[in-house]
């Protein structure tokens, strides 16, 4: 099957491993991701703080281009991009005059016919039912699923999972053979776009998230947003200085976790691109051949 794909700016830059892992995972399930031609930035955080028409026109152009290609759905793995496209689709559906004005600005016909899916919704819709049968190496780690704030808010528009205690990513972790941690920081803000301008704030907010995960015994933090990954992973030195302790828990994208479970090579999933090394205790697993011997020491995944 084919479905539209919007990588956004981050997945062609600092979060290449996210794009790589989503693409590799889709291949396993015979899904062809069609990258929207001539796509543009969605405006992310900045546009809707400066100019409302611009903030709607940028996402509307992306969706209009997808419609022109005959696509009926778009996978948007970045939580910020997903939020902007979904909010724009909602606002233009509610206001015909605004929709016509935006169509004029972008010089493209916009009808709002494309379904917008975040990475978890995409997996739920097209992969989840077949996931368990594809698992060859269960991801047997205690995982702290971190949803962040943009993936579930505003609930009145996105209508995706529960705002305070979402469960959809937890369910996928269990399908992959892992254990999902019950913890308090699932949707707390990591500092988002303040990573450069207010690194101290990001260190504090992300530090509180990582501290709670570590205190509860998490072996890995799982995310579905490139900004969340950047703050929890790249800003680990600042986090550790803020906490005055060294936390080495790796941060993986949900697509990387599922990719490992279905047997995709770690390097193909981009695990070698992380700032915090992906060191996980090797565990005995059953595959179609035999049960692997138990190994107690911690080893770096081959990337």
Q: Does 1.20.1050.140 match the CATH number of domain 2-119?
A: yes
pLDDT at residue 298, as a whole number = 39
Model pTM? 0.92
Segments in the chain below pLDDT 50: 286-300
Structure tokens given for 116: 């917008």
Q: What CA dihedral angle connects 18, 40, 57 and 120, to 10 degrees?
A: -20
- What CATH number belongs to 133-300? 3.40.50.11810
Q: What kind and span of H or E run contains 9?
A: none
- Each residue of 245-264: pLDDT tens digit? 999 999 999 999 999 999 99
pLDDT at residue 193, as a whole number = 76
Residue 301 exposure: Cα atoms within 13 Å on the Cβ side: 26
Question: Start-end ranges of CATH 1.20.1050.140 in the chain?
Answer: 2-119
C-alpha distance from residue 115 to each of 4, 41, 61, 96 (Å): 10, 19, 15, 19
C-alpha distance from residue 246 to each of 69, 239, 240, 276 (Å): 49, 9, 5, 11
pLDDT at residue 292, as a whole number = 36
- Cα–Cα dist 84/136, whole Å: 36
Question: Start-end ranges of CATH 3.40.50.11810 in the chain?
Answer: 133-300
pLDDT at residue 301, as a whole number = 57
């Amino acid at each position: 099957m084919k479905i539209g794909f919007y990588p956004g700016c981050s997945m062609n830059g600092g979060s290449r491993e996210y794009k790589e892992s989503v693409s590799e995972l889709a291949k396993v399930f015979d899904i062809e991701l069609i990258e929207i031609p001539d796509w543009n930035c969605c405006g992310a955080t900045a546009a809707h703080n400066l100019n409302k028409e611009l903030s709607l026109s940028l996402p509307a152009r992306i969706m209009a281009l997808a419609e022109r290609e005959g696509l009926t759905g778009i996978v948007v793995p970045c939580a910020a991009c997903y939020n902007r496209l979904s909010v724009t689709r909602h606002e233009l559906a509610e206001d015909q005059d605004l929709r016509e004005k935006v169509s004029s600005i972008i010089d493209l016909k916009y009808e709002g016919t494309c379904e917008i899916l975040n990475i978890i919704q995409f997996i739920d819709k097209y992969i989840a039912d077949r996931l368990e049968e594809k698992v060859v190496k269960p991801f047997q780690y205690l995982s702290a699923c971190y949803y962040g704030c943009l993936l579930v808010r505003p609930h009145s528009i996105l209508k995706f999972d529960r705002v305070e205690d979402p469960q959809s990513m937890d369910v996928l972790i269990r399908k992959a053979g892992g254990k999902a941690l019950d913890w308090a920081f699932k949707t707390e803000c990591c500092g988002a776009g303040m990573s450069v301008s207010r690194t101290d704030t990001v260190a504090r907010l992300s530090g509180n998230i990582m501290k709670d995960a570590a205190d509860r015994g998490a072996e890995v933090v799982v995310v579905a947003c490139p900004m969340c990954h950047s703050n929890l992973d790249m800003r680990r030195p600042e986090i550790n200085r803020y906490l005055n302790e060294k936390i080495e828990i790796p941060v993986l994208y949900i697509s990387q976790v599922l990719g490992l479970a279905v047997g995709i090579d770690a390097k193909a999933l981009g695990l070698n691109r992380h700032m915090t090394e992906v060191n996980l205790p090797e565990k005995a697993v059953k595959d179609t051949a035999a049960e692997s011997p138990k190994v107690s020491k911690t080893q770096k995944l081959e990337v």
